[in-house]
Structure 1
Amino acid sequence: MNIVFVEPHFPKNQREFPRALAEAGANVIGIGETPWDYLDQQLRDWMVHYEQVGSVTDLQQMTEAVRKVQGMVWVDRLESTIEAHQLVAAQVREALGIPGTSVRTTWLCRDKPSMKEALRQAGVPTAASTGADSAEEVWAFARAVGYPLILKPRDAAGAAGTSRVDNDGELREALDRMGGYRSIAVEEFIEGHEGFYDTISIDGQIAVDFASHYYPGVLEAMRTRWISPQFIATNRIDGGGLYDEIREMGHRVNAALGIGTSATHMEWFHGPKGLKFSEIGCRPPGVGCWDLYCAANDMDVYAAWADAIVHGALRRQPSRSHSAGIIALRPDRDGVIKGYSGLEEIENRYGRWIMDAHLPHPGTGTQPIEAGFMANAWVRMRHPDYDTLRHMLDDVGRTVHVHAG
């Protein structure tokens, strides 16, 4: 099978996808922005051909590059795993007759108001929402639904550009900040615990899945410096209850959006109004989630994805032997990192359970806290018991401090 893979070089874990495809027996043709001479030998060896383009989000350049590849070999699939690359990849597929996720499905997975409307029609519980092209439409929605509300650029990934507003004054300020966006997704704020549900699906059926929990919710975590936010992949997903509800929701979402053979990343809330769908990406999750799943489940999740793409079946299933999580460690201020305290304490207490850590050297410039879980320092851990792991991650957050100046 000949598979075109978009951008194999960046970010760092992108190389795992062509690696897994090659090990599954595919001929991998890479298309990326990095010059061939800059790619390391191992990455080169996983590919049979490579095309450089100026931008993998430029439809014309990507169409020309894939058409050139089609002039050399039959292309069975074209795969992309980064949110910003998804729509162009789908447009190239449809233009050149390559199987895979459709433009319709990709659009619905990126445009939040359209996504939620399609799912409401399919009976999936979601927050009230709309897509607004003017401030007047936002104000009308606020008058009809009431506060609090969430505002977000329609095609943003994760929490990028997201604001919560609780009154008219905050709404006015948010609209001023978002004046550069052509269209805004506006939705009812749902109170409750926040988590996500990740799958690999084959022909529309979920073949393997994972569930994770945020502490605290993403919006609060990405806006509050003193919080050391974490998310934990649970090994209790087969325990019924809420997880059965989440799985049922995932099946209904797949069917409503026309998802075939693909990784997915679905976010959800659970609170006083029950389980509510938040949003979905027709792609793997970011922030190293699959690395946590690999470590917690004695399996290569990238290889499972490649088996789904190449063979239409999985050859491995998760052990659920451990839960695994990451905690972000924020610098106490913006500037440059001066040092750390509490690391030796944590190493002495939990060394055997620490998977890895990222601790930028003193002198390294800090990143804004809204840049995400892996923007500055972080620690990843695993443990057979979910509650014990959560306690350990909390202890890391209380004990380790990143000093900046």
Structure 2
Amino acid sequence: MNYVFISPHFPPNYKNFAIALKAEGVNVLGIGSEIYDSLDTSLKNALTEYYKVDNMEDYDQMFKACAFLSFKYGKIDWLESHNEYWLEQDARLRTDFNIDGFKNHDMVKIKRKSKMKDVFKRAGIPVARGSLVKTIDEALKLIKKVGYPVCAKPDSGVGASNTYKIKSFEELESFFNTKPPVDYVMEEFIQGEIHTFDGLVDNEGNLVFINSFVFGTGVMETVNDGLDQFYYNQREIPEDLKEFGEAAVEAFKLRGRFFHIEFFRKSDGDLVALEVNARPPGGLSVDMFNYANDIDIFNIYAKMVSGKTIEELSNPKYHCGFVGIKDKFGSKQVHSNEEIGLRFSDIMVSQGQIATVFSGALGNYAYVLRSPDFDVLRSASEYILERELI
């Protein structure tokens, strides 16, 4: 089996996919723009061949790389980056080389938030009221129905970049005067926690692994307001979240891949669908799957790809929490990294710098903790997040 791994070096923990795939007998072929000698040694050992391109944005170069690997090793059976940024390019390469998985025609419902709403609705899953708005008059008609505040976000976008909370007519005017020249979805602002339904689904639509994270603060607020981040997994996934999550996996025809589906849990307990992401959750979340469950999700994925039997998984053994700290002007953490590491050595599984590309949403420095007792996890996070003015 030939597996083409797009950008196998980033994020750094994704090298474990290549290592696990090779261990299961898969022929792993890498394409990226990094110099081969700069790749991690364990990643180089897992790759049968690495094809360097000068610019991964240049589709002609990516096409030629796939053509070369296909000519040398035979038909490409699987192509994946596990990366939101490359989803559309992955689909284009699968289309041109007739590789199983999402093709060009699948991308509209996967990348455009306005189309996601339609899919959620057809599946009977509640969504926030909203629509595409191209003019201020269209926005005012929507606001007349839902009231202020409203949320405006690019119809096709990654994360919370260029996303706005609009609380007045003056802010609405400013938004239309300064917004980027792309299509925007505007919708009622939903107050609540973000509860995710994440996992891995095989080519037949069977759920191989499921998980749920709870974010007390939304990614938009974390990015726009420069907030620190704390999120954690639920050891038992609520039945309503599981029901809507499974319905969404089927409605979006997610197959042979990771997924990360976001819902709002409102104060009245109801769920409202936010969006679907046809890739793993970002940052260190995939590692948190392992810490919470005492599993190797990379090996589980490799077994799925190679068609091998996967043992049924039980509920997580631990609550696993992520605490992300941002570098802020005017304040600092009360407690040092060394002090935190010593105090919570029994529940700390990792700590370290976060890649700059993720720092807006996740912070500049992160701690990952685990404990079977959520109160222990929450208490530790509060201690770590303490700040003082400077």
| TM-score, normalising length: structure 2 | 0.91
Q: Please tell me the residue identity of whatever aligns with 1:394.
A: E
Q: Please tell me the residue identity of whatever aligns with 1:261.
A: G
Q: Deviations over 1:99-133 (max 9, x none)?
A: 11233333312111111112212211111222234
Counterpart of 1:96?
97
Distance in 2, Cα, partners of 1:320 & 1:174: 43
Q: Deviations over 1:276-324 (max 9, x none)?
A: 1111111111111011111111101122122222216424625611111
Q: Please say if residues 8 and 18 of structure 1, whose CA atoms lie closer than 8 Å, have aligned partners that are also in contact.
A: yes
Q: Please say if residues 136 and 172 of structure 2, whose CA atoms lie closer than 8 Å, have aligned partners that are also in contact.
A: no
Distance in 2, Cα, partners of 1:316 & 1:118: 29
The unaligned stretches of length 5 or more in structure 2 are none
Counterpart of 1:142?
143
Distance in 2, Cα, partners of 1:182 & 1:390: 40
Which deviates further from its counterpart, 351-360 or 212-221? 351-360
How far 1:95 sits from its partner (Å)?
A: 1.9
Counterpart of 2:122?
121
Distance in 2, Cα, partners of 1:248 & 1:319: 16
Are 2:162 and 1:161 equivalent residues in the alignment? yes
Distance in 2, Cα, partners of 1:222 & 1:195: 18
How far 1:135 sits from its partner (Å)?
A: 4.2
Distance in 2, Cα, partners of 1:325 & 1:205: 27
Q: Please say if residues 6 and 56 of structure 1, whose CA atoms lie closer than 8 Å, have aligned partners that are also in contact.
A: no
Change in Cα spacing, 1:124 to 1:229, as seen in structure 2 (3 Å) is same
Counterpart of 1:41?
41
The residue correspondences of 1:175-324 to structure 2 (distance < 5 A) are 175-178=176-179, 180-202=180-202, 203-225=204-226, 227-237=227-237, 243-271=238-266, 272=268, 274-311=270-307, 313-315=309-311, 317=313, 320-324=316-320
The residue correspondences of 1:380-399 to structure 2 (distance < 5 A) are 380-398=368-386
Counterpart of 1:372?
361
Which deviates further from its counterpart, 338-347 or 78-87? 338-347
Distance in 1, Cα, partners of 2:129 & 2:55: 36
Q: Deviations over 1:29-68 (max 9, x none)?
A: 1111112232233211101111122333433322222122
How far 1:74 sits from its partner (Å)?
A: 1.7
Change in Cα spacing, 1:343 to 1:99, as seen in structure 2 (3 Å) is closer
Distance in 2, Cα, partners of 1:67 & 1:4: 11
Change in Cα spacing, 1:319 to 1:250, as seen in structure 2 (3 Å) is closer
SS at match of 1:395: helix
Q: Deviations over 1:187-241 (max 9, x none)?
A: 221122212121100122222101111122323333334x43201112233xxxx
The unaligned stretches of length 5 or more in structure 1 are 238-242, 361-365
SS at match of 1:160: coil
Counterpart of 1:349?
343
Q: Please say if residues 126 and 272 of structure 2, whose CA atoms lie closer than 8 Å, have aligned partners that are also in contact.
A: yes
How far 1:151 sits from its partner (Å)?
A: 0.7
Change in Cα spacing, 1:193 to 1:46, as seen in structure 2 (3 Å) is same
Change in Cα spacing, 1:319 to 1:251, as seen in structure 2 (3 Å) is closer
Q: Please say if residues 27 and 47 of structure 1, whose CA atoms lie closer than 8 Å, have aligned partners that are also in contact.
A: yes
Q: Deviations over 1:370-389 (max 9, x none)?
A: 7121x412221111112321
Q: How many residues align structurally?
A: 387
How far 1:134 sits from its partner (Å)?
A: 4.2
Among all aligned residue pairs of Structure 1 and Structure 2, give the percentage whose two residues are the same amino acid. 25
Which deviates further from its counterpart, 140-149 or 207-216? 140-149
Distance in 1, Cα, partners of 2:38 & 2:339: 40
Q: Please say if residues 330 and 402 of structure 1, whose CA atoms lie closer than 8 Å, have aligned partners that are also in contact.
A: no
Q: Please tell me the residue identity of whatever aligns with 2:213.
A: S
| TM-score, normalising length: structure 1 | 0.88
Counterpart of 1:363?
none
Q: Deviations over 1:153-208 (max 9, x none)?
A: 12222222211112211222223331x23211212211222121211001222221
Q: Please say if residues 329 and 402 of structure 1, whose CA atoms lie closer than 8 Å, have aligned partners that are also in contact.
A: no
How far 1:273 sits from its partner (Å)?
A: 7.0
